[in-house]
Amino acid sequence: MGKRIGVISDTHGLLREEARTRLEGCDLIVHAGDVGDPAVLEDLGRIAEVVVVRGNMDHGLWARDLALTEHVTVEDRQIHVVHNIETLDLDPAAAGIDVVVYGHSHKPAVDWKDGVLYLNPGSIGPKRFHLPVSMAILHIGPEGIAPEIVSLQDALI
Protein backbone atom coordinates (compact mmCIF):
# COMPACT_ATOMS: atom_id res chain seq x y z
CA MET A 1 0.00 0.00 0.00
CA GLY A 2 2.82 2.41 0.77
CA LYS A 3 3.04 5.58 2.81
CA ARG A 4 1.28 8.90 2.47
CA ILE A 5 3.48 11.87 3.34
CA GLY A 6 2.07 15.36 3.82
CA VAL A 7 4.53 17.98 2.57
CA ILE A 8 4.14 21.61 3.59
CA SER A 9 6.24 24.75 3.85
CA ASP A 10 6.10 28.41 4.72
CA THR A 11 3.22 28.34 7.18
CA HIS A 12 4.46 31.60 8.72
CA GLY A 13 2.38 30.89 11.82
CA LEU A 14 -0.82 29.92 9.98
CA LEU A 15 -2.01 26.32 9.80
CA ARG A 16 -5.12 26.51 7.65
CA GLU A 17 -8.04 24.23 8.47
CA GLU A 18 -8.07 23.10 4.82
CA ALA A 19 -4.45 21.96 5.13
CA ARG A 20 -5.09 20.26 8.46
CA THR A 21 -7.95 18.31 6.85
CA ARG A 22 -5.74 17.24 3.92
CA LEU A 23 -3.00 16.11 6.32
CA GLU A 24 -5.31 13.81 8.28
CA GLY A 25 -4.38 10.21 7.63
CA CYS A 26 -0.80 10.96 6.61
CA ASP A 27 1.89 8.65 7.97
CA LEU A 28 4.36 11.54 8.22
CA ILE A 29 4.36 15.31 7.77
CA VAL A 30 7.41 17.05 6.32
CA HIS A 31 7.63 20.82 6.93
CA ALA A 32 10.26 22.58 4.82
CA GLY A 33 10.68 25.60 7.10
CA ASP A 34 9.41 29.08 7.87
CA VAL A 35 7.15 27.58 10.50
CA GLY A 36 6.62 30.96 12.16
CA ASP A 37 5.17 29.72 15.45
CA PRO A 38 5.89 26.62 17.56
CA ALA A 39 2.12 26.14 17.99
CA VAL A 40 2.03 25.07 14.31
CA LEU A 41 4.39 22.18 15.10
CA GLU A 42 2.32 21.22 18.15
CA ASP A 43 -0.84 21.13 16.01
CA LEU A 44 0.89 19.09 13.29
CA GLY A 45 2.23 16.67 15.89
CA ARG A 46 -1.34 15.81 16.86
CA ILE A 47 -1.91 14.62 13.29
CA ALA A 48 1.27 12.63 12.58
CA GLU A 49 5.00 12.50 13.22
CA VAL A 50 6.65 15.69 11.96
CA VAL A 51 10.05 16.21 10.31
CA VAL A 52 10.87 19.93 10.14
CA VAL A 53 13.75 22.22 9.19
CA ARG A 54 14.40 25.81 10.20
CA GLY A 55 13.61 28.46 7.62
CA ASN A 56 15.11 31.91 7.27
CA MET A 57 12.12 33.44 9.10
CA ASP A 58 12.23 31.02 12.06
CA HIS A 59 13.73 32.97 14.97
CA GLY A 60 13.64 32.76 18.73
CA LEU A 61 14.51 30.16 21.30
CA TRP A 62 12.01 27.62 19.97
CA ALA A 63 13.61 27.67 16.49
CA ARG A 64 17.18 27.09 17.71
CA ASP A 65 16.50 23.38 18.08
CA LEU A 66 15.40 23.05 14.45
CA ALA A 67 18.10 21.74 12.12
CA LEU A 68 18.88 23.43 8.81
CA THR A 69 18.58 20.07 7.03
CA GLU A 70 16.92 16.77 7.88
CA HIS A 71 17.10 13.34 6.35
CA VAL A 72 14.43 10.68 6.71
CA THR A 73 13.92 7.21 5.27
CA VAL A 74 10.42 6.15 4.23
CA GLU A 75 9.82 2.74 2.65
CA ASP A 76 13.55 2.47 1.87
CA ARG A 77 13.43 5.82 0.05
CA GLN A 78 15.72 8.65 1.16
CA ILE A 79 14.18 12.10 1.65
CA HIS A 80 16.39 15.14 2.24
CA VAL A 81 14.73 18.31 3.54
CA VAL A 82 16.11 21.84 3.27
CA HIS A 83 14.35 25.21 3.37
CA ASN A 84 16.13 27.04 0.55
CA ILE A 85 17.25 24.88 -2.39
CA GLU A 86 20.11 27.34 -2.94
CA THR A 87 21.70 26.07 0.30
CA LEU A 88 21.70 22.42 -0.78
CA ASP A 89 25.30 21.37 -0.13
CA LEU A 90 25.37 17.88 -1.63
CA ASP A 91 24.72 16.05 -4.87
CA PRO A 92 21.45 14.20 -4.16
CA ALA A 93 21.89 11.62 -6.92
CA ALA A 94 25.43 10.77 -5.81
CA ALA A 95 24.27 10.61 -2.17
CA GLY A 96 21.51 8.11 -2.98
CA ILE A 97 18.73 10.55 -2.17
CA ASP A 98 15.39 9.88 -3.86
CA VAL A 99 13.53 13.08 -2.92
CA VAL A 100 14.64 16.62 -2.05
CA VAL A 101 11.92 18.61 -0.30
CA TYR A 102 12.36 22.37 -0.12
CA GLY A 103 10.35 25.56 0.35
CA HIS A 104 11.22 29.25 0.63
CA SER A 105 9.98 30.46 -2.77
CA HIS A 106 6.26 29.85 -2.05
CA LYS A 107 6.09 28.43 -5.60
CA PRO A 108 4.99 24.80 -5.95
CA ALA A 109 7.28 22.71 -8.13
CA VAL A 110 7.69 19.07 -9.13
CA ASP A 111 10.93 18.42 -11.02
CA TRP A 112 12.84 15.23 -11.75
CA LYS A 113 16.59 15.46 -12.33
CA ASP A 114 19.00 12.53 -12.52
CA GLY A 115 16.35 10.24 -11.01
CA VAL A 116 15.79 12.56 -8.01
CA LEU A 117 12.45 14.23 -7.30
CA TYR A 118 12.76 17.90 -6.29
CA LEU A 119 9.51 18.84 -4.56
CA ASN A 120 8.44 22.29 -3.38
CA PRO A 121 4.91 22.16 -1.94
CA GLY A 122 4.44 25.93 -2.18
CA SER A 123 3.06 27.77 0.83
CA ILE A 124 0.02 27.17 3.02
CA GLY A 125 0.68 30.32 5.06
CA PRO A 126 -0.71 33.80 4.47
CA LYS A 127 -1.37 34.46 0.79
CA ARG A 128 1.52 36.26 -0.82
CA PHE A 129 1.17 38.33 -3.97
CA HIS A 130 -0.19 36.24 -6.87
CA LEU A 131 1.32 32.98 -5.63
CA PRO A 132 -1.00 30.01 -5.01
CA VAL A 133 -1.80 28.53 -1.62
CA SER A 134 -0.72 24.91 -1.89
CA MET A 135 0.80 21.84 -0.27
CA ALA A 136 1.80 18.40 -1.53
CA ILE A 137 1.06 14.78 -0.83
CA LEU A 138 3.87 12.34 -1.54
CA HIS A 139 2.92 8.71 -2.08
CA ILE A 140 5.80 6.28 -1.53
CA GLY A 141 5.41 2.56 -2.02
CA PRO A 142 6.61 -0.51 -3.90
CA GLU A 143 5.34 0.98 -7.15
CA GLY A 144 7.51 4.09 -6.73
CA ILE A 145 7.22 7.74 -5.76
CA ALA A 146 4.20 9.81 -6.80
CA PRO A 147 4.00 13.52 -5.90
CA GLU A 148 0.73 15.42 -5.93
CA ILE A 149 0.44 19.21 -5.58
CA VAL A 150 -2.77 20.08 -3.71
CA SER A 151 -4.23 23.52 -4.37
CA LEU A 152 -5.95 25.29 -1.49
CA GLN A 153 -6.98 28.25 -3.64
CA ASP A 154 -10.28 28.64 -1.81
CA ALA A 155 -8.26 29.69 1.24
CA LEU A 156 -7.65 33.36 0.53
CA ILE A 157 -6.39 34.73 3.85
Q: Which residues contact 6 (CB under 8 A, 6 or more apart)?
A: 22, 23, 26, 28, 29, 30, 47, 48, 135, 136, 137, 138
pLDDT of residue 154: 60
Report, as an integer, the average pLDDT of 98-112.
Answer: 97
pLDDT, the chain, mean: 94
pLDDT of residue 89 exceeding 60, the answer is yes
Determine phi and psi for 71, rounding to 5 degrees: -135, 130
pLDDT of residue 130 exceeding 50, the answer is yes
pLDDT of residue 79: 98
- Nearest-10 Cα torsion for 25, 18, 11, 79: 30
- % residues pLDDT > 90 (the chain): 91
The CATH code belonging to domain 3-151 is: 3.60.21.10
